[in-house]
Every structure is written in C-alpha cells, then in structure tokens.
Amino acid sequence: MKLVLLPGMDGTGKLLAPFISRLPSELEPVVVSYPKDEVLSYAQLLPLVEKALSGEGSFVLLGESFSGPLAVMAAAKKPNGLVAVVLVASFVRSPAPWVFRHLRPIVRGFLFHVIPKSLMKCILFGTESSKSFADDFSRTAAEIPPEVFAARIREVIKVDVSSELRQLSVPLLYLAGSRDVIVPARSVDLIRKFCPKVTVVTLDAPHLVLQTTPEESAKAIQSFLHNNEIFLN
C-alpha cells in the first residue's frame, strides 16, 4: 500500500527522510514535491496532488502542516483507492489569531530576512534536535525563495476547507505535537467539530512532529490503520 506524503511549508519532502526510514516495509512512501520557485496557491497546487493520486491500488494520504488543507481538498473528491487520511500538525482553517489575518497583505519575502533563524528553528523543532537535522533544515529552507515561503503563509492565513472536511468518508488520523506553538489546540478542536470520528494522537513533540518523533509517528499510523482494519499489503 502507498503512503502519499504531502510535505510541510518547504514543499520539498526532504525533511521527511527520518520518518520515511521508520515506515513498515508494507507502506510504500510516495513524496509529492512542489515547485521551488513558483508562487502557487492551494488551488494551483491541487492538480499536482491529484496527479500523484491517479495511479492504481490503495493508498493513505498524509498532509503535513501547510499541506493539510491540500490533503483534505483532494480527499473530498473521493479519489479511487483512498483508504485513510492523516493530518500532521495541520489545520482546516487558518491557525493564526483573527487579528493577524488582517496583516496578510504585508507578509512578504523581506520578513524572512529579519526573523532570526535561531528563533524559527526553536519554534519549529525545539532545542533537542541534532545538529545534523538543524543543518538539513537550514539547507532545505535555503532552497526556497523567501517570496515563495511568504506566499504559502498568505495561503495559510486565508484558508478554510472545513466544508471539504465534512465530505470526508474515510478514517482520519490527526497527529499533534504537545509542544506545537504554531498550530494551537483550537485547530484540533475545529477538526473534531467537523469530523467527530477523527482519531487524535498527541506526541511529545514541537511543530515538526514527523521529524522529531519519526518512530513514534510511524507506529501511530500503523496502529491507526490496524484499528480501522486497513491491512497493509
């Protein structure tokens, strides 16, 4: 069975390597990467996702952080073979406080030159991650133009796919980080409101759940599939 992975804000999927290495052999990872140098909205990224889902066989669709809304949008169309959806540290409506949503127009590339990188690293993956992972993060982030990051944040600020979530007809797993300071608990509460049957698993992790708790995340997904009688093959 395939596990189609939609990556976080970087859009490359490179930071998913630690998690992918812990997956059971029965789950075949398929990473969907986004163009690095194009400013694309969620609606414009959706066809890339749908193309990755057009093959034969059953699959699980995972949306990490930024890509959670994309996973919900794609799943709402009920593609052939979809058996489950996993959202990781994500949201269906903007996680930003409403007051910040009015500041959307000023989110531009220059902001990424003034925000201390050390602060961003601490927010995203805490202080306990290895130096090698911190280096990988820095290299990956450097591949993406600040304007692309800014555009993706603007998309997050205005997104609302709650109506699409209501259309979900397959089991849903939500992996949360107990120390996530980017996606607040109210985002999970909102998902529960629109999808009461969601399974929520909270791991001792910051925002980058899959990167900081890869083994625990892989086990949580495997257990979720087993509990829903979705057998790997």
Write out the chain in H/E/C secondary structure: CEEEEECCCCCCCHHHHHHHCCCCCCCEEEECCCCCCCCCCHHHHHHHHHHHCCCCCCEEEEEEHHHHHHHHHHHHCCCCCEEEEEEECCCCECCCCHHHHCCHHHCCCCHHHHCCHHHHHHHHHCCCCCHHHHHHHHHHHHCCCHHHHHHHHHHHHHCECHHHHHCCCCCEEEEEECCCCCCCHHHHHHHHHHCCCCEEEEECCCCCHHHHCHHHHHHHHHHHHHHCCCCCC
Domain 2-227 has CATH 3.40.50.1820: yes
Give domain limits for the chain.
2-227
Exposed, middle or buried, 154 (CB in 10 Å: 0-12/13-18/19+)? middle
Write down the pLDDT at residue 186: 92
Write down the pLDDT at residue 137: 77
- pLDDT tens for each residue of 109-138: 435 544 545 545 555 666 556 566 677 777
Write down the pLDDT at residue 110: 39
Write down the pLDDT at residue 176: 97
DSSP label of 68: H
Distance separating alpha carbons of residues 103 and 92, to the nearest angstrom: 20
Distance separating alpha carbons of residues 181 and 200, to the nearest angstrom: 17
Regions of the chain where pLDDT drops below 70:
97-133, 233
- pLDDT tens for each residue of 166-199: 999 999 999 999 999 889 999 999 999 999 999 9
Write down the pLDDT at residue 12: 94
Write down the pLDDT at residue 131: 60
